[in-house]
Structure 1
Amino acid sequence: MTAIKIIKILGTSTDSWEAAATEAVERANETIDDIHGVEVEDWTATVTDGAITEYKATVEVAFPVQDRQT
């Protein structure tokens, strides 16, 4: 049986929500092995002077719990 761990990552982008979600997954992939799936939990943005200046995507990243190294 495999146990799966889920963590939340907040990705940001000045281009789009999709780019923010991609950034979250790419950065998580730098330190997490064997990502099995992601779920975008929330889309938010920073607004300055009536315009979106930063897109934010909260992403849940799922990966298997590794066996303890002895």
Structure 2
Amino acid sequence: MTAIKVIKVLGTSEESWEAAAEEAVKNASESVEGVHGIEVEDWTAEVENGEIVEYRATTEIAFPVKDAEE
């Protein structure tokens, strides 16, 4: 049986919420192996002078936990 671990990662982008979610996956993939799922928990943004200056995607990233016998 494979155990799955889920971590919360905040991705940011000046372009879009989709790019922010992609950034979250990219950052998580740099420190964990086998990322195979993402759930976007929340979309938020920072606003200055009536315009969005930073998109934020709060995500949950799933990956398998390595078996100690491997």
The answer to whether TM tops 0.5 is yes
Unaligned runs of 5+ in 1: none
TM-score by length of 1: 0.92
Give aligned pairs, total.
69
Distance in 1 of aligned mates of 2:68 and 2:55: 37
Match of 2:22 in 1: 22
The within-5 A match list for 1:39-54 is 39-54=39-54
Distance in 2 of aligned mates of 1:23 and 1:64: 20
TM-score by length of 2: 0.92
Unaligned runs of 5+ in 2: none
| Deviating 4+ runs (over 3 angstroms) | none
Deviation string, structure 1 residues 16-65 (Cα, Å, up to 9, x no partner): 00000000001111111011211111100000111110000011100111
**Share of identical aligned residues, percent?**
64
